[in-house]
Structure 1
Amino acid sequence: MQNVLVSGGGIAGTVLAHWLARRGFAPTVVELAPAPRSGGQAIDIRGTALDVIARMGLTGQVRAVRTRMRGMTVLDADGTEVHRSTEATYSGGRLDSGDVELLRSDLIGILHQHALEGVEFIHGDSVTALHEDERGVHASFAHGQPRTFDLVVGADGLHSRVRRLVFGPEEEFLRPLGTHVAIFSADNFLGLEDWQVWQRDGDAGYGIYPVRGNRELRVCFGWADDAPAERDPRAARELVAERMGALRWETPRLLDALHRSTDFYADVMAQVHLDTWSAGRTVLLGDAGYCASPLSGQGTSLALVGAHVLADELARAAGRGDGHRAAFERYEDRMRPFVALNQALATENPGGPAAEESVERAKNAISLDAA
């Protein structure tokens, strides 16, 4: 039985661990957070990714917690309505689609509970060093004892530590898209009921939508900026307030909620591009290897599909001493065209959503069953 270290307990890492355990592997998931992460924005599961959820037997659970938006309003800087739609929203696309929008934390909770059997989860720790030799990959951790694994998977996000340790500095692989984002939750002081509100003026704007039975809001600020992300939380909040200061309407109350939020997150919008996703016994998965950015709307789907494909190829190659090499190659051959189409969604229409035709083509551009 091959033991596999999965760095990152998000969507990609958890789904991969589920499939590996059911294919006879012994996965260990190491996650920096002390527990499955809460907070986060609404995410989408589309096209082939829905087939992954179906194969896990989770369709009913996922659809039960989907968002229930009725439409959206677009405002100018003063809060005057300039557009209204009951057919689609910017965050979830067409309301009559079979795709599913739900909170990231809800999906993580469902996936984590489903993957517990046969998977070792270690929370509150992280990989600090990796060294490969003929016996495997020797991993050191911030808190736990060193261990040796047959394979290592970096599923640890845009700023992947595994990618940095094995492939080099992230500056070599990140392609910033000239946009920053900040996300946080707040009480629903606007009284929104299954309705989104979007406001934009020039290079700055935000989207607001209610969640949790309309008890809470998720607020997403965005602005154009070519500078690196501000890593200090206090300075990042001040930067957001400065960038949003020219917007009016309910902006002062939103900024007050920003400073009081306990789940504030901010980062640069970027994609990840590498010539290869594997090196020796280490391979990258999801955002760590091919982040498409939230602007694509397909990060979750890439994570779900990538995890299924990687587990599938590793299972097909199991039993051969160097089978992981062929598995990594087939994983990459199958995924690269799918990744390319989905990354293109983020840049097709700068400042706006990609065409519906492009989304339809990209989300279904792969089969879960190898040829």
Structure 2
Amino acid sequence: MNILISGASVAGPALAYWLRRHGFTPTVVERAEQVRDGGYAVDFRGEALDVLDRMGILDQVRALDTEMSDAALMDGDGKQYATLPAVVFAGDLEILKGDLTRILYEATRDDVEYVFGDSIASLEEDETGVHVTFERGEPRTFDLVVGADGLHSRTRALTFGPEEQFIRHLGIYTAIFSLDNYLGLTNTGQLYSVPGKAANIFSARHNTEARAALHFASDPLEYDRRDVAEHKRIVAERFADDGWQVPRLLREAADAQDFYFDANAQVEMERWSKGRVVLLGDAGYCAAPTSGRGTSQALIGAYILAGELAAAGGEHTAAYAAYEQQMRAYVSEHQQAGREGAKHFFMGTPTQEMLDMIAAGMPESVRGQAIRLKDYPVADRSTAASAG
């Protein structure tokens, strides 16, 4: 079976890996011209580590662990007033998102077709498959289509309708970008927060560089999602009068080549599939960055979706239903965590006692809803290599 996957971030390449192991023939289409770098750190929790291990890439991921220690909470005068325990923000294992996407791409590029610089323009389904037109490439027909193209999924819009029907805005906007580690941070970070706004800097890639994020509270804004210059202006205006390192961060943001800006939002849908099309990861059930669960959901969802397609012999109706049945409770709890995280995101000036209490409860809360991973038999490697 030929399966088109839209999106080459985390969910898409992870799904492509497992589809090949089960003898399917995936094609990944990605709007960007190449594998995306940049982005903030992502962490893995619970069963997601098991998925990385089953993929044979856990050691690679561990080698790029940010190894974050506790971070300093700073006031507007640049003085530390408390320490944020690493367990609160770094999960069981944490690496930069750009490093993760590169590892996943390298694990799949030799036997998966990647089409960069293109995206789906239209989908039309009949009894023979899904007929797909692209923004640039020639039309093609696939047996199945998977939307792994994020919060603003084009696949979801074409199949289910405008995103306004499914997006729950959580009242926070975030900008993320790379910069020099000018503070000389060593496996740690600094965080600054005032009512309705926050900024942070963390060291990255063995302290040779850093990542910064600027967050502000807001109702939904009207802006062009593809106009990065407009995004930078919005952030600069919101933080124009702030102290600490914010003036320096705004100068760095103005020149950043990997500047990313978006809302913290969730995707809530009654179903994740329609006909031969199915959604995976943030496209179908984004829990928002405030949950800390998005990467784990993407990896686990990819493993289960591919496994259920294999178990059903490619019969998508049964496979999609089984995939959703296994993931629903897991996703629901993570989305609740995302909403709670957003509610308390701008928590003012917490005491060290409060932070220590949060950290003490984290080992149980970060795991949350357990999900049992089935052992799906994989195709013989020689068979998988020649499939399709």
Scaled by the length of structure 2, what TM-score is found? 0.89
Q: Counterpart of 1:92 in structure 2: which amino acid?
A: A
**Cα separation, 2, equivalents of 1:68 and 1:51:** 19
Q: Secondary structure at the match of 2:316?
A: helix
**Cα separation, 2, equivalents of 1:68 and 1:50:** 16
How far does residue 205 in structure 1 lie from its aligned partner after superposition?
0.8
1:53-132 to structure 2, matched below 5 A, reads: 53-85=52-84, 87-88=85-86, 90-93=88-91, 99-132=92-125
The answer to whether the 8 Å contact 2:199/2:246 transfers is no
Structure 1 residue aligned with 2:372: 367
Q: Counterpart of 2:239 in structure 1: which amino acid?
A: M
Structure 2 residue aligned with 1:268: 263
**Cα separation, 2, equivalents of 1:237 and 1:306:** 33
Structure 2 residue aligned with 1:51: 50
Equivalent pairs counted in the alignment come to 359
Structure 2 residue aligned with 1:347: 339
**Cα separation, 2, equivalents of 1:233 and 1:10:** 20
The answer to whether the 8 Å contact 1:163/1:170 transfers is yes
**Cα separation, 1, equivalents of 2:60 and 2:10:** 15
Counterpart of 1:213 (choices 201, 206, 214) is 206
Structure 2 residue aligned with 1:286: 281
Q: Secondary structure at the match of 2:340?
A: coil
Q: Secondary structure at the match of 1:246?
A: coil
Q: Counterpart of 1:325 in structure 2: which amino acid?
A: T
Structure 2 residue aligned with 1:326: 318
Q: Counterpart of 1:367 in structure 2: which amino acid?
A: R
- Cα distance, 1:105–1:266 mapped onto 2, change above 3 Å: same
Structure 1 residue aligned with 2:252: 257
- Residues 281-306 of structure 1 show CA distances to partners (whole Å, capped at 9, x for unaligned) of 00000000000011101100000000
Q: Secondary structure at the match of 2:62?
A: helix
How far does residue 89 in structure 1 lie from its aligned partner after superposition?
5.5
**Cα separation, 2, equivalents of 1:100 and 1:123:** 29
**Cα separation, 2, equivalents of 1:124 and 1:304:** 24
How far does residue 246 in structure 1 lie from its aligned partner after superposition?
3.1
The answer to whether the 8 Å contact 1:272/1:288 transfers is yes
Counterpart of 2:230 (choices 230, 235, 239) is 235
**Cα separation, 1, equivalents of 2:262 and 2:177:** 12
Counterpart of 2:299 (choices 285, 301, 304) is 304
Question: Structure 1 unaligned runs (5+)?
Answer: 94-98
- Residues 147-201 of structure 1 show CA distances to partners (whole Å, capped at 9, x for unaligned) of 0000000000000000000000000000000000000011111221212100001
Aligned residues with identical type, % of pairs: 48
The answer to whether the 8 Å contact 1:35/1:123 transfers is yes
**Cα separation, 2, equivalents of 1:43 and 1:312:** 24
The answer to whether the 8 Å contact 2:287/2:335 transfers is yes
**Cα separation, 2, equivalents of 1:144 and 1:154:** 18
How far does residue 227 in structure 1 lie from its aligned partner after superposition?
2.2
**Cα separation, 2, equivalents of 1:269 and 1:368:** 29
- Residues 127-146 of structure 1 show CA distances to partners (whole Å, capped at 9, x for unaligned) of 00000011100000011110
| 2:211 pairs with 1:204 | no
RMSD: 1.6
How far does residue 229 in structure 1 lie from its aligned partner after superposition?
5.7
The answer to whether the 8 Å contact 2:45/2:366 transfers is no
**Cα separation, 2, equivalents of 1:117 and 1:234:** 37
**Cα separation, 2, equivalents of 1:186 and 1:168:** 38
**Cα separation, 2, equivalents of 1:101 and 1:77:** 28
Q: Counterpart of 1:174 in structure 2: which amino acid?
A: I
- Residues 21-44 of structure 1 show CA distances to partners (whole Å, capped at 9, x for unaligned) of 111111000011111111110000
Q: Secondary structure at the match of 2:17?
A: helix
Scaled by the length of structure 1, what TM-score is found? 0.93
Q: Secondary structure at the match of 2:202?
A: strand
Q: Counterpart of 1:265 in structure 2: which amino acid?
A: Y
- Residues 78-102 of structure 1 show CA distances to partners (whole Å, capped at 9, x for unaligned) of 32222024x4265314xxxxx1100
